[in-house]
Structures are given as C-alpha cells and as structure tokens.
Chain A
Amino acid sequence: NAGVMQNPRHLVRRRGQEARLRCSPMKGHSHVYWYRQLPEEGLKFMVYLQKENIIDESGMPKERFSAEFPKEGPSILRIQQVVRGDSAAYFCASSLQGQGTSYEQYFGPGTRLTVT
C-alpha cells in the first residue's frame, strides 16, 4: 500500500522563478493538506483541499502561493516568483476522512525547496 508520494524531493530555483510541488495522496484518501517547515521550526499548516475544492487556505501567504487538487492527478502547490524566504521543506499529508471525526493524517517525505 503506497504511502503519500511527493515530488520532486529536492528542488532548486533561482529568485523569481516558479516552483511546482506535487503530492499524490494515499490510495483512497480524498483529503490533502500542505504544511511548511522553515529551518529549525515546527510544521505550519498552509492549506486543506478536497478533490476540486479548497476547504481552508488560511495558512497560505496572501500572494504568490496557490494550491489545487484536481479531479484527476496529484495536488499541486505552486509558488510564483520565489524569494529566498520561501526556502523550506514542504510536506503534504492525506487522510481518509475530513472534519468531524478522529482521524490520522499521513505525511509524505517532503519537498525541500532551495531558492538561490
């Protein structure tokens, strides 16, 4: 049973370029969450998506960041015009169920973004 897949595992971008991070949830999971971990800090929630819907993006920076989870294919976290401060580890998690119940989120291995 494959776990949460993320790619690429490492991504290097120059300032001003775009970064696209992909996440394939566990089989059967339709709830996806993105978290960011800055160096020496804990993970911070960014966005919660279900298929074709953004449920909560309260943790997303107001500009340059967007996320989607299309009907077919992986969830994408997109960062436009990257800056050095975007350098971090980005983790995706998925769950079988969403709100209203006790459930576990299973995390992927993360994508380490380095902006030069």
Chain B
Amino acid sequence: DAKTTQPPSMDCAEGRAANLPCNHSTISGNEYVYWYRQIHSQGPQYIIHGLKNNETNEMASLIITEDRKSSTLILPHATLRDTAVYYCIVRSNDYKLSFGAGTTVTVRA
C-alpha cells in the first residue's frame, strides 16, 4: 500500500472547520483513501473513505485532488469531542490497515 504523509499536529478552534491534509503521492489506481481517528484510549473509529470522487457523510467530507496525490479531511464544525489522532490510510484490496503516526488534532474552546 502507498505511504502517506500527515502533519504531526494541528490546533483548531471550536466551531470552526478543521482541514486535515494528507499526501499520498505514490497512490495507485486501485487504492482507496481511508480516514480513521482514535480518541484517547479508545479503539480507532472509521470516518470516511473514497477512491477519486469527493465524499461526504454525517461526520466529515473528503476532498481528493484530481491527480489523487493528496486529500483533505474536513470536519465542518469541530467540537471538543473531535480532539483525537487522525489517520490517513491508503489501501487497495489488502485487509491490513497500516496506521502511521497520524495527526494529533486538538480542538480548543
């Protein structure tokens, strides 16, 4: 699976949108972009995934660039409960999720 690069940390004000970038320049055509998050001491939580089209669900939006070399996870109205480590994972049909260091997002009141 392709490797991803994420900033180690970012802060966000409560109520504002949080935009989390992820670079995956070596992604191949059949690989999906997945986002999970892990709130302290809990199991990872699935957020969203996409192949090439932008995706939106009740939790977040995923914007994938046309060349698919990068993507952005958008939390539209961050709350204190969104403080977590966010993982961007690229995978094809392989069932193994590979968790890197992720981005530690701190939402501040």
By the criterion of a CB under 8 Å from any partner CB, how many residues of chain B are at the interface?
Answer: 21
Given contacts A42-B99, A42-B101, A43-B97, contact A102 B49 (CB under 8 A): yes
Interface residues in A39-73 by Cβ distance below 8 A to B read 42-45, 48, 56, 59
Instruction: Select from chain B the residue with minimum beta-carbon distance to A40.
Output: B101
Q: Separation in Å of the B5 CB from the closest CB of chain A?
A: 14
Instruction: Select from chain B the residue with minimum beta-carbon distance to A106.
Output: B46
Contacts of B41 in A (CB 8 A): 89, 110
A104 touches B43 (CB 8 A): no
Partner of B95, one of A44, A98, A109: A98
Instruction: Select from chain A the residue with minimum beta-carbon distance to B98.
Output: A45
Query: Considering the chains assembled together, what is the distance between the CA atoms of A42 and B46 in angstroms?
Result: 15
Main secondary structure of the interface of B (DSSP, over half): loop
B93 touches A107 (CB 8 A): no
B44 touches A56 (CB 8 A): no
Q: Separation in Å of the A50 CB from the closest CB of chain B?
A: 11
Instruction: Select from chain B the residue with minimum beta-carbon distance to A44.
Output: B99
Query: Considering the chains assembled together, what is the distance between the CA atoms of A33 and B26 in angstroms?
Result: 26
Whether A99 sits at the interface, judged by CB under 8 Å, is yes
A100 touches B93 (CB 8 A): yes
Q: Separation in Å of the B101 CB from the closest CB of chain A?
A: 6
Partner of A105, one of B42, B97, B100, B102: B97
1/0 per residue B11-54: CB within 8 Å of A? 00000000000000000000010100000011111100101000
Query: Considering the chains assembled together, what is the distance between the CA atoms of A109 and B44 in angstroms?
Result: 8
Give B residues with C-beta under 8 Å from A.
32, 34, 41-46, 49, 51, 87, 93-102
Give A residues with C-beta under 8 Å from B.
4, 6, 31, 33, 35, 42-45, 48, 56, 59, 89, 91, 93, 95, 98-102, 104-110
Which 9 pairs of residues, A with B, have the shortest CB-CB distance? Answer: A107-B43, A42-B99, A43-B99, A45-B96, A104-B46, A107-B44, A110-B43, A91-B43, A109-B43
Q: Given contact pairs A105-B97, A107-B44, enumerate 12 new A-B contacts (beta carbons under 8 Å).
A: A4-B43, A6-B43, A33-B97, A43-B44, A45-B98, A48-B95, A91-B44, A95-B95, A102-B49, A106-B46, A109-B42, A109-B43
